């Protein structure tokens, strides 16, 4: 440790190191179980749960699906997702603004992962904290709704950099929100060159076929 380096920095570094170790174990476990694990990060209210509600319902016809969902408080999102009939568990984080690998491991403790095809993990709505915490997922999605403004990738580059694919949500509202598609796509490209962008409206169903096809392709 460097002289005068605050102790807090060291504590944080240790937490992240420990998280990475647990995440690596989770990734191995998921791989051995043959389960595809997809996590979702975004700002609060950008449509994670709504997209998952539709996704679980539609995938359930052909795949065994489940979800974990993190929030500081309430079981609301788990209740919404449970309506799909999928196995769902809420992780209540209290004051913590992100999910950690250990929380995921504990939540999955009694689950038989080999009996599942897909597990979705909805992170706490936040564009900052979740970016540093690997959850052992195969794919991380960052959602950006058309009502948030096109500049979010530029303001929160780390979350876009730590994700694999961007999903632009609520596209049914693009017109009324005067969403500037070319600016948004250019901003994503600027912070994460080559990033794939998927466009959906969980409300109207626009783009949902492509989205589901993308997920099915992930399974190989």
Ligand X SMILES: Nc1nc2c(ncn2[C@@H]2O[C@H](COP(=O)(O)OP(=O)(O)OP(=O)(O)O)[C@@H](O)[C@H]2O)c(=O)[nH]1
Minimum separation from the CB atom of position 76 to Mg ion (A): 8
Distance CA 143, CA 41 (A): 6
Contacts of 214 (CB under 8 A, 6+ apart): 165, 198
Reading phi first (left if > 0) and then psi (alpha if -120 to 50, else beta), residue 148 is in: alpha
* Closest CB to ligand X among residues 125, 153: 125
d(CA 124, CA 98): 5
Provide the token pair at 167. 């999903």
- Kindly tell me which of 70 and 136 has the beta carbon lying closer to ligand X: 70
Q: How many residues bind Mg ion (CB under 5 A)?
A: 3
Report the partner that residue 203 touches, choosing among ligand X, Mg ion, none (CB closer than 5 to 8 A by kind).
ligand X
Q: Which is nearer to Mg ion, 77 or 137 (CB)?
A: 77
Residue 198 is classified by DSSP as E
Q: What's the closest the beta carbon of residue 38 comes to ligand X, in angstroms?
A: 15
Q: Which is nearer to Mg ion, 38 or 191 (CB)?
A: 38
Point out the residue whose Cβ comes nearest to ligand X: 125
Contact partners, residue 184, CB within 8 Å, separation at least 6 = 144, 146, 150, 153, 168
Q: 142-158 as b/e, with b when 16 or more CB fall inside 10 Å? A: bbbbbebbbebbeebee
Applying CB under 5 A, among 77, 100, 134, 148 the residue interacting with Mg ion is 77
Contacts to ligand X by CB under 6 A = 42, 44-50, 77, 125, 169-170, 172-173, 201-203
| Distance in Å, CB of 114 to ligand X, minimum | 28
Residue 22's Cβ-side half-sphere holds a number of Cα atoms within 13 Å equal to: 17
Which of 90, 187 has the CB closer to Mg ion?
90
**Minimal distance, residue 9 CB to Mg ion, in Å:** 32
Residue 48 in the binding site for Mg ion (CB under 5 A): yes
Closest approach, Cβ 77 to ligand X, in A, equals 5
């Amino acid at each position: 440790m460097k002289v005068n380096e605050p102790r807090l920095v060291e504590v944080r570094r240790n937490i992240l190191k420990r998280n990475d170790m647990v995440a690596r174990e989770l990734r191995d476990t998921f791989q051995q179980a043959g389960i595809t694990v997809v996590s979702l990060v975004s700002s609060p209210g950008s449509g994670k749960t709504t997209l998952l509600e539709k996704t679980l319902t539609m995938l359930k016809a052909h795949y065994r699906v489940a979800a974990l969902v993190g929030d500081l408080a309430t079981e609301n999102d788990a209740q919404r997702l449970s309506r799909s009939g999928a196995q769902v568990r809420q992780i209540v984080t209290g004051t913590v603004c992100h999910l950690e690998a250990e929380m995921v491991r504990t939540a999955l403790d009694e689950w038989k992962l080999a009996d599942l095809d897909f597990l979705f993990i909805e992170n706490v709505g936040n564009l900052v904290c979740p970016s540093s915490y690997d959850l052992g997922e195969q794919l991380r999605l960052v959602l950006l709704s058309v009502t948030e403004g096109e500049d979010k990738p530029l303001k929160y580059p780390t979350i876009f950099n730590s994700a694999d694919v961007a999903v632009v949500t609520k596209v049914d509202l693009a017109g009324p929100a005067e969403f500037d598609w070319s600016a948004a796509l250019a901003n994503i490209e600027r912070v994460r060159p080559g990033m794939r962008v998927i466009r959906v409206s969980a409300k109207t169903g626009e783009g949902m076929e492509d989205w589901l096809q993308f997920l099915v392709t992930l399974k190989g």
